[in-house]
Chain A
Amino acid sequence: MKINRRNFLKITGIAGGSLLAGREKTAEAKETKEDFGDKWGCLIDTTVCLGCRKCEEACNKVNHLPPPDTSFEDYTVFEKQRRPDAKSYTVVNRYFKEPDAPDKKKEPIFVKVQCMHCNDPACVSACIVGALQKLPEGPVAYNASKCIGCRYCMVACPFVIPAYEYHNPLTPKVRKCIFCHEILEKGGLPGCAQVCPVEAITFGKRRDLVHLAHFKIRENPDRYINHVYGEEEVGGTSWMYLASVPFEKLGFQKLGKLPPPRLTETIQHTVFKGFVSPLAFYALLGGVMWITRRKKKNDAGKEE
């Protein structure tokens, strides 16, 4: 995990830099202004998940996704680490508690991967036309008819989640878990959470889920490590995880607390606020141009 350590250094470096002092304040301001506790979220308990792939199947069904390459009962897919792609909003990956132990003693840990529905989503901030939106209820939704297909959302997402329909020549879409927001609006449960036979996915208000997560950790200190992934990462996410081993061992990146949009939006808004700086620059250049022209005229006059 060379990259992770390096990035961590980088982020701490940035946060320490004077340039960012102002930006961090804005981040705090934004957080106190907006309470994410009321938003919907999900808590995934990786110590419970069986790796049955029923959530993958349910997600495929409720979202009318294309048929999978191999059946959802095919467990050989676990031999490789997969990522959500144009055909699947969510995938389950297998890790081992002690990867170096002899095969028979290996205890698997399954991790479901999907969009984290960040509190302050980088994809939404990046999207050039607002095709991605953080709904007031929490889900990050996508409107394909606005989308121009620039894929900046994919560049921006710190979790590397959105996928693209690269093989659709004319009407490609960005594909990612949409938190089944249409079902939620009708009072239903997300397809994956609904189907899970062991309730590894708990749906609820983010505030309650955070409490639940810490309660579980407190009650079973041997079962869990003391870290709720997503509680603070990139400013917090609607989907959060519990685990028995450090998250870096389960394919999670070590991420800082600062939401990435605070890095750019602050530049955008300080530089372009009310268009003051560009206009001031325009006026300045106009002034220079006027002076140099007068000087030129005067010089020409003297020569005559």
Chain B
Amino acid sequence: MKGSNHHKAAPVDYPFFTPGVWVMLGFMLVGLAFVIARYILGLGGVTNLTNQYPWGLWIGVDVATGVALAAGGFTTAFLAHILHNDYYEVVTRPALLTAMLGYTFVSLGLFVDIGRSYNIWHPMIYHQPNSVLFEVAMCVMTYLTVLYIEFIPMVCERFIGKVNLPGPLASLNGFVDKLLRFADKFLDKFMFIFIIAGVVLSCMHQSGLGSLLVIAPYKVHPLWYTPLLPFLFLLSAIAVGFPMVVFESFLASKSLHRELEMDVLSSLAKFTPILLGIYMAFKIGDLIHRGAYVYLLEGSVQSNSFLVEMIFGVIVPFAMLLSKKVRQSPMGLFVAMLLVVLGVALNRVNVFLVGFLPAYASHHYFPSIGEMAITAGLIAGLMFLYRACVTIFPVLPVVEKVDEK
């Protein structure tokens, strides 16, 4: 199915260590130091969490936003593999890689966040089907496995016939090669099972994340609290998938000095006004139906944050992307897609942090330096691994290198 004649991907041929990479390593080290502090001092030592605000930056950003922004994986898989739209094949591999790394880091973030990290596997034996979090955890876990399986063909492509393990492991070369060949054959036939599963699981847990706070009607600000939260989370995840792919392509092209696949990206952007428009329609319709628009001009942090989210994160990029000119100009496309990405990210932050107003809290939660450092470290780690993966494996399409020397 991943016929190699449709597109060619190859390991990136660009020096791995650049000043930017060292900066990333720096962030990772600082983050790691705070992780160590967290396991010595406890969560209270490095976070600003309280009994009223049990969830902070790590859940709002690392988990909720991380999962939403990894939506490029299942949306491109749907477009290119389920609808068999080969034209978009080129974007599926980088999107898959981002999703795979994204979910890996979501899990890492969760691991650090939960009080008893070593019990993280407990949901597998203590099932609690009434719990939304249980459903989300199971879906995320399964989906992460599916993503790793979907990545195997790239490993096969890179190493079949070229297995060369160092030192004493060299005797295993033949065996590993056979294993890879078998996996490749098997997956070539049965990959569709995993691709469909990936889309189903994604829809389940993207909406599941939205259900998480439905159980707390007295804590979430009415601008966001609606029984439709799961549905809105799903719609926004679908809408943010392609913008995220475009955004990553820009980043990759900048940092690896590659030509942009503008034609594919512009065509991809055609879908965004439709998907974003559906999200916008439901979001505004829900606001009117519930009568919650009366809070819009409340002047509070919450109402302002909601306005920013809706205007700059939804309405402006929606209007921009309707224009073909914007979609075809690299600058216009980048700005519009970035706005969508930031808008959905802000939505998650709004629902989980800004709009979370529990009774009896003496002050509103704001993340500590330690929380920010660990989040920054995780993001840097993700970017670092992304770079490592595209350097080792055939992920990015073969394109002209930008000649600047």
Where the two chains meet, the residues of A that have a C-beta atom closer than 8 Å to any C-beta of B are 3-4, 6-7, 9-11, 13-14, 17, 19-20, 81, 83, 85-86, 122, 125-131, 146-152, 154-156, 158, 160, 162-172, 251, 253, 255-256, 260-261, 263-265, 267-268, 272, 278, 281-282, 285-286, 288-289, 292-293, 295-296
Contacts and interface: CB of A to CB of B under 8 A. Distances in A.
A152 B36 CA distance: 24
Interface residues on B, range: 35 or more
Contacts of A164: 43, 49, 51, 54, 115
B211 to A, nearest CB: 6
Interface stretch (B167-175, B224-232, B376-384): B224-232
A288 B203 CA distance: 16
A125 B82 contact: no
B290 to A, nearest CB: 5
Nearest to A1: B359
B122 A3 contact: no
Interface string B206-241: 000001111111110010010110100000000000
B84 A146 contact: no
B206 to A, nearest CB: 13
A7 B54 CA distance: 20
A285 B131 contact: no
Q: Which 6 A-B pairs have the closest CB atoms?
A: A149-B115, A166-B44, A151-B54, A154-B54, A129-B126, A292-B84
Contacts of B133: 126, 128, 150, 152
Contacts of B122: 128-129, 146, 148
B18 interface: no
A288 B218 CA distance: 42
Given A126-B131, A155-B219, A268-B132, A160 B42 contact: no
B199 interface: yes
B363 interface: no
A166 B82 contact: no
14 contacts: A7-B217, A13-B292, A128-B122, A130-B131, A150-B115, A151-B54, A166-B43, A168-B115, A169-B45, A170-B39, A172-B116, A285-B196, A292-B83, A293-B84
B389 interface: no
A238 to B, nearest CB: 19
B228 to A, nearest CB: 7
A7 B355 CA distance: 13
Interface string B50-66: 01101100000000000
B189 interface: no
A129 B123 contact: yes
Nearest to A131: B126
Contact of A150 (B52, B114, B130, B211): B114
B189 to A, nearest CB: 13
B48 to A, nearest CB: 10
Nearest to B115: A149
Give the dominant DSSP class at B's interface.
helix
Interface string B96-124: 00000000000000000111110110110
A101 B39 CA distance: 50
A126 B217 contact: no
B230 A160 contact: no
A214 B299 CA distance: 43
Interface of B: 38-45, 47, 49, 51-52, 54-55, 78, 81-86, 113-117, 119-120, 122-123, 126-135, 137, 192, 195-197, 199-200, 203-204, 211-219, 222, 225, 227-228, 230, 289-292, 295, 357-360
Contact of A289 (B45, B84, B114): B84
Contact of B42 (A128, A165, A278): A165
B215 A10 contact: no
A264 to B, nearest CB: 5
A164 B126 CA distance: 21
A13 B290 contact: yes
A158 B45 contact: no
A80 B174 CA distance: 73
Given A17-B290, A125-B131, A10 B217 contact: yes
B371 to A, nearest CB: 13
A29 B51 CA distance: 33
A155 B55 contact: yes
Contacts of A167: 41-42, 44-45
B215 A126 contact: yes
A12 to B, nearest CB: 10
Contacts of B126: 129-131, 146
A218 B55 CA distance: 44
Given A6-B222, A10-B222, A267-B214, A261 B130 contact: yes
A168 B54 contact: no
Contacts of B359: 3-4, 160, 253
